[in-house]
Amino acid sequence: MHSSQHDETRERRRAAEIAGRLLDWYAESARDLPWRRTRDPYRIWVSEIMLQQTRVETVIPYFERWMKQFPTLEALAAAPQEEVLKAWEGLGYYARARNLHAAVQEVVARYGGEVPDDPEAVASLKGVGPYTAGAILSIAFNRPVPAVDGNVLRVMARLYAIADDIARPATRRVVEELVRAMIPPGRASEFNQALMDLGAVICTPRRPRCLLCPVRELCEAWKAGRVGELPVKGRARAPRPVERVAAWVEQEGRLLIVRRPQEGLLAGLWELPGGDVPAGLAPEETLRTLLRDALGAEVEVGEHLVDVRHVFTHLVWHVRCYRAALAPGCKVAEGEEVRWVAPEALGEYAFPAIYNKLLGLIRADR
């Protein structure tokens, strides 16, 4: 046998040994999560979208409420966007909810309401990237497809001592092929979930619990004493600061709110009227200009009420909120994007977290 064939056979054996140990460990130690008590592709899909950039403990109550409200794919597809965004409120990264809503409508229209189990069809759905497609196909349909998220990248970088930057697409492709080769026949669903659990519970980013790891003796990083150095991850850029202003405009006990555009950051959510302050301009003057341009309204800007700050992945918002009054004889009519809302009805509208915080602070103050 040539040495390359010999190496290949040894690698296959090692991969099979890792997979076997992981499956045994998972059978004993799997986390009991609500979306695991089902093979319903819709429920698995919703859980995966919610779990993007959000911790499991945060997701569980949202997932349970969501399933009461939208128990089937058809129920979600038929719901108005406003209701979907309201149910998502507080989970952040709202494009996830809008894409999911659009994608289930596509499943109803194109596939008769059945989530397809074809890799190309699943991957073409809105908001479904390679990881989510892999998770749906493997977990719900037991298809032998890798589902490589941050947890899996970290586990595999340590198991195989991969020193390349895991933020690079080329490294992800290497890991995907390693996982694909490791999936035991007929057991893709459990295997992919076992890998995810290992990353979430044992092979954590900081202070991994190597002594409890079922595959420790097979881990290249552990054997070489390099667990702490891996994975290698490129440095993220610091978020860019953005100064914003907002107006608290009341009339006859109702508060003026406006809807954000249907594209871009926090699309389709409600907020107080206002916007970004260009560098070097005074916030009060900017607020007057913004309300004139957006609503055709002349306002008198009054006291400064509160400042709030919110960190997004790539931006940090600082919002200064002022009390403002419409100039005498000036009116703002309601429409699709503009509402006068009684304080007790504000809860019916989906606001970004920063505006919920702002409304909460002002109302607590009064």
User: 338 and 258 in contact (C-beta within 8 Å)?
Assistant: yes
Please report, as a single letter, which amino acid is at residue 226: R
User: Does the active-site annotation cover 48?
Assistant: yes
d(CA 294, CA 305): 22
Given the residues 8, 48, 243, 263, the one annotated as active site: 48
- Which residue from 84, 77, 192, 61 is spatially nearest to 132, judged by alpha carbons? 192
- Which residue from 167, 336, 197, 353 is spatially nearest to 257, judged by alpha carbons? 336
57, with CB counted inside 10 A (0-12, 13-18, 19+), is exposed
Phi-psi region of 153 (alpha: psi -120 to 50; beta: other; left: phi over 0): alpha
Question: DSSP secondary structure string, 31-73?
Answer: ---GGGS---HHHHHHHHHHHTTS-HHHHHHHHHHHHHHS-SH
Residues catalogued as catalytic: 48
